[in-house]
Amino acid sequence: MDVIGHLNIREGMDADRQGNAMMWMPDGSIVHYEACGHPYKFVGYERNGWDERLEINTVKGRLDLYTVTWNRPDRNGALLVHMDGETGVTTEYRYPQVNPFHVEMASMLKWFERGETPAPSAWDGYVVDELIAHITRSSREKQRLTVAYQDQVAVK
């Protein structure tokens, strides 16, 4: 997978005000990620200044996932929009208000009770960290990078 990223980070802060990444997947699909926290209160899915959307485009269609403000997930549910590339039909899927952190913890507890490895796993965390590191490096170096993951066995 290749990635190119651009981050806008205020001097002295460890969080970005705006993050963009374009990812070219091995199957030919392209993923564009954009997140922005800014003072424009009229923008974003909730119209509160938090503007984060995951967009997946393929020759067969498009998915747009609009997320809610990460630290206030109880206000609105996520929105998934699917556009079928063959029929042109667009369908919206609106999800209930839930706190995903509570759902994840309940799920992990069940995994532990069964003596199984929980999901997300250490591998999932590594993949996310590696991708963030490549997006950050790409932004700093202003170039497209190939993401090369370690062997999964070495990470577990």
pLDDT(68) > 80: yes
How many Å separate Cα 83 from the centre of its chain? 19
Mean pLDDT, residues 130-142: 95
Nearest to 22 by CA among 12, 14, 30: 30
What is the Cα–Cα distance from 58 to 152, expressed in whole angstroms?
Answer: 27
Q: What is the pLDDT of residue 3?
A: 97
pLDDT(144) > 70: yes
Q: What is the pLDDT of residue 122?
A: 83
Residue in the block written with tokens 């199984």:
116
pLDDT(113) > 80: yes
**For the residues of 35-58, what is the DSSP string, one character each?**
EEE-S-TT-TTTTSSEEEEEEEEE
Q: Which two tokens stand for residue 61?
A: 């269609």
As beta bridge partners, residue 57 has 30, 62
User: Which stretch, 32-41, 75-84, 99-108, 146-155, has highest mean pLDDT?
Assistant: 75-84
- Sequence letter at residue 11: E
Q: What is the pLDDT of residue 54?
A: 81
> What rounded mean pLDDT belongs to the chain?
87
Mean pLDDT, residues 52-58: 82
- Sequence letter at residue 83: M
DSSP secondary structure code for residue 47 in this structure: T
Residue in the block written with tokens 């309940």:
106
Poorest-confidence range of 6-15, 86-95, 117-126? Answer: 6-15
**Could you give the percent of the chain with pLDDT greater than 70?**
93
Phi, psi values for residue 97, rounded to 5°:
-70, 120
- Between residues 30 and 48, the one the model is more confident about: 30
Q: What is the pLDDT of residue 117?
A: 82
Q: What domains does the chain contain, in order, with CATH numbers?
A: 2-155 (3.30.360.10)
Under the banding of pLDDT at 50, 70 and 90, the label for residue 114 is very high
Residue in the block written with tokens 């030919």:
28
92 and 81 in contact (C-beta within 8 Å)? yes
Phi, psi values for residue 28, rounded to 5°:
95, -10
- Sequence letter at residue 98: V
Q: Rg of the Cα trace of the chain? A: 18
Q: What is the pLDDT of residue 15?
A: 66
